[in-house]
């Protein structure tokens, strides 16, 4: 009988171990058979296929603009093949090592409300007392908030955030109008949520109405639908300078405080509604000081009825000899204090009337209360109007500050602008808008919509370096077009039908097995021979860079010519 060595419960291979074993040059040296076409080779569908699965997550996207989308919008976006990925495969995997996309760091006092203004013009409002530790104790020490925002193709590409998905068998890409990543830390420990909802006023760069809000579920490798996301458009012609709104806020706040004080004064004139004496209950006849209790001045023959809350009150109270009696007021209630030496007894009482005294007092009350109610309602309405105007002005103030920062940012960009020599047109979005949503969770939030992949020409795509050496182990391949603010990601298995629109300006960004970034411009697409049905794109290696700005300069201004 043959002996078998059975290995049960073998540990899963991590993504690092996979990458470490990807020595494809050695594989090719030891592989001697009749050459086959590129996509028929076993290693391509084996190891490269596995590497591609580990690098690409496909999402099902929902929207709200078609019947299909309306039916699916409440369903979570599910990741395809996620069960085949190693457990340690990160959802967000930047193509370049190191912190290229710097976080904006905010140190906040969690005991008070914090309003964070980002350099891009977004505003994050965090309510006071919003954070608890793992034991449920309120955090009062300093909290660190880290924020990054992503607005264009370069931002998205370098973030490593997955943006592609399938819906009903059709492959789409997400076109972003603005994406924000928010993280919170306390004493080095990452926080998962806020106890109170944070308000995010996200600056977005497209005013179209068909954008939705999604949150990246990093544990499940999927996007979760949150809500439609419309925005308040920033109209630069109607916006005043921030100082104008700041001054108006001060004036409105002063009016609000004055009106509140007037309401307090009016409340002091509120007439006391007479109480009809219940003669079955105990009571006291007390000659109340009308100066001390002016609300009782208009009432004749007041009797103080003992309240039901006085448990155990009996005739014994009347049978005792008391040295002193005091009448006190607590809110809308009165209290009788009976004193004998050091001994005191306290009872809640209510002023009441009977017979003709009650009828006259009730008639007077109805007349006076009508006047009081009208006066107070007018003042309350005035207060509400001031508060609404204050909130509207506050929103405009924040938008004006955000817009001012955007203009400063654009001014700096224009001052440092380098001539575009790549032949690629830089698409411009419609108008900038602020879109507002609330969340208790930290993480990545995206204002986006789905767009179809190009359906024009198709070729079998191969890639080589400038020295002619083939680029075989593809980490990912991204088609960039001038028409959409998105990346169209292709896996290795899809390159036999690499589609593009020849009427658009196109480029490609891709990564090899060493993590090197390569790119080509629209000139490569002009060289495609449609009759052959295939093309080898000559890719130029992007030099090392240390910031997103440097990468943008290279990809937009650096001539990528073969």
Query: What pLDDT, in 10s, does the model give residues 75-127?
Result: 333 333 232 334 444 678 787 766 677 889 999 999 999 999 998 889 999 99
Alpha helices in 218-354 (DSSP H): 242-267, 316-319
Residue 47 clears pLDDT 50, i.e. is over it: no
Output the pLDDT for position 119.
87
Residue 42 clears pLDDT 50, i.e. is over it: no
Band the pLDDT of 372: cuts 50, 70, 90. Answer: very high
Span 487-512, average pLDDT: 90
Band the pLDDT of 423: cuts 50, 70, 90. Answer: very low
Output the pLDDT for position 74.
33
CA 104 to chain centre: 16
61-80 pLDDT, tens digit per residue, is: 223 233 334 333 333 333 33
Is there a contact between 45 and 22 (Cβ–Cβ < 8 Å)? no
Share of the chain above pLDDT 70, in %: 75
390-404 pLDDT, tens digit per residue, is: 888 887 787 778 777
Q: Which helix (H) or strand (E) holds 71?
A: helix 67-72
426 Cβ contact list (under 8 Å, min separation 6): 420, 482, 556
Output the pLDDT for position 106.
95
Q: Which residue has the higher pLDDT, 145 or 555?
A: 145
Q: Which residue has the higher pLDDT, 553 or 169?
A: 553
Band the pLDDT of 525: cuts 50, 70, 90. Answer: very high
Span 10-38, average pLDDT: 47
Share of the chain above pLDDT 90, in %: 38
DSSP state of 470: B
Residue 411 clears pLDDT 60, i.e. is over it: no
Strand partners, 428: none
The residues spanned by each domain of the chain are 1-234+431-452, 283-352, 454-562
Is pTM beyond 0.85? Reply is no
**Which of 92, 131, 94 is CA-nearest to residue 111?**
131
407 Cβ contact list (under 8 Å, min separation 6): none
Q: Pick the range with the lowest mean pLDDT from 223-232, 309-318, 529-538.
A: 223-232
Domain spanning 1-234+431-452: CATH 3.40.50.300: no
> What distance in Å separates the CA atoms of residue 542 and residue 115, rounded to the nearest whole number?
39
Q: Pick the range with the lowest mean pLDDT from 26-40, 245-259, 400-414.
A: 26-40
279-337 pLDDT, tens digit per residue, is: 999 999 888 888 888 888 878 889 999 999 998 899 899 999 999 999 998 877 899 99
> What distance in Å separates the CA atoms of residue 474 and residue 494, rounded to the nearest whole number?
12
Output the pLDDT for position 391.
84
434-489 pLDDT, tens digit per residue, is: 888 999 999 999 998 988 898 889 999 999 999 999 987 776 899 999 888 999 99
> What distance in Å separates the CA atoms of residue 401 and residue 34, rounded to the nearest whole number?
67
Output the pLDDT for position 14.
54
Span 554-559, average pLDDT: 64
49 Cβ contact list (under 8 Å, min separation 6): 492, 493
Q: Pick the range with the lowest mean pLDDT from 11-15, 279-283, 538-542.
A: 11-15
Query: Mean pLDDT over all residues of the chain?
Result: 78
């Amino acid at each position: 009988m043959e002996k078998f060595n059975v290995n049960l419960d073998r540990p899963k291979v991590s993504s690092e171990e996979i990458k470490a074993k990807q020595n494809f040059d050695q594989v090719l040296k030891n592989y001697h058979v009749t050459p086959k076409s590129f996509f028929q080779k076993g290693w391509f569908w084996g190891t490269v296929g596995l590497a591609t699965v580990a690098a690409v997550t496909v999402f099902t996207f929902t929207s709200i603009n078609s019947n299909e989308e309306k039916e699916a919008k409440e369903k979570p976006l599910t990741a395809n093949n996620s069960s085949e990925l190693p457990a340690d495969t990160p959802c967000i995997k930047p193509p370049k090592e190191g912190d290229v996309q710097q976080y904006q760091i905010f140190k906040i006092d969690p005991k008070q409300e914090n309003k964070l203004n980002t350099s891009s013009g977004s505003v994050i409002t965090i309510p006071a007392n919003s954070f608890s530790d793992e034991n449920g104790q309120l955090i009062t020490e300093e909290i660190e908030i880290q924020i990054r925002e992503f607005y264009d193709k370069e931002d998205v590409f370098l973030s490593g955030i997955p943006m592609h998905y399938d819906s009903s068998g059709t492959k789409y890409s997400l076109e972003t109008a603005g994406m924000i990543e928010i993280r919170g830390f306390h004493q080095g420990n990452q926080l998962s949520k806020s106890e109170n909802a944070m308000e995010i006023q996200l600056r977005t760069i497209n005013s179209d109405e068909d954008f939705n809000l999604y949150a990246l579920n990093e544990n499940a490798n999927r996007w979760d639908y949150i809500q439609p996301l419309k925005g308040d458009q920033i109209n630069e012609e109607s916006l005043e300078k921030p100082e104008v709104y700041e001054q108006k806020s001060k004036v409105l706040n002063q009016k609000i405080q004055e009106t509140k004080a007037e309401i307090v004064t009016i409340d002091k004139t509120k007439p006391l509604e007479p109480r009809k004496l219940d003669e079955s209950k105990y009571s006291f006849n007390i000659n109340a000081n009308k100066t001390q209790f002016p609300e009782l001045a208009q009432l004749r023959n007041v009797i103080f009825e003992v309240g039901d809350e006085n448990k155990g009150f009996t005739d014994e109270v009347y049978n005792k000899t008391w040295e002193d009696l005091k009448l006190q007021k607590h809110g809308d209630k009165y209290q009788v204090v009976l004193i004998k030496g050091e001994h005191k007894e306290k009872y809640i009482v209510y002023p009441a009337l009977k017979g003709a005294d009650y009828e006259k007092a009730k008639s007077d009350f109805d007349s006076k209360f009508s006047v009081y109610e009208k006066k107070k309602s007018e003042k309350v309405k005035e207060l509400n109007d001031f508060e609404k105007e204050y909130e509207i002005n506050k929103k405009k103030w924040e938008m004006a500050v955000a817009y001012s920062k955007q203009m400063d940012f654009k001014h700096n960009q224009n001052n440092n602008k380098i001539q575009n020599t790549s032949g690629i047109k830089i698409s411009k979005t419609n108008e900038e808008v602020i879109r507002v949503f609330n969340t208790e969770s930290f993480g990545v939030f995206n204002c986006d919509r789905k767009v179809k992949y190009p359906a024009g020409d198709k070729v079998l795509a191969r890639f080589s370096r400038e020295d002619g050496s083939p680029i075989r182990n593809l980490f990912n391949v991204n088609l960039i077009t001038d028409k959409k603010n998105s990346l169209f990601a292709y896996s290795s298995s899809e390159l036999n039908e690499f589609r593009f629109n020849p009427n658009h300006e196109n480029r490609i960004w891709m990564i090899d097995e060493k993590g090197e970034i390569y790119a080509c411009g629209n000139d490569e697409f002009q060289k495609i021979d449609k009759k052959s049905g295939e093309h080898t794109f000559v890719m130029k290696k992007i030099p090392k860079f240390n910031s997103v700005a440097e990468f943008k300069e290279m990809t937009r201004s650096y001539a990528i010519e073969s």
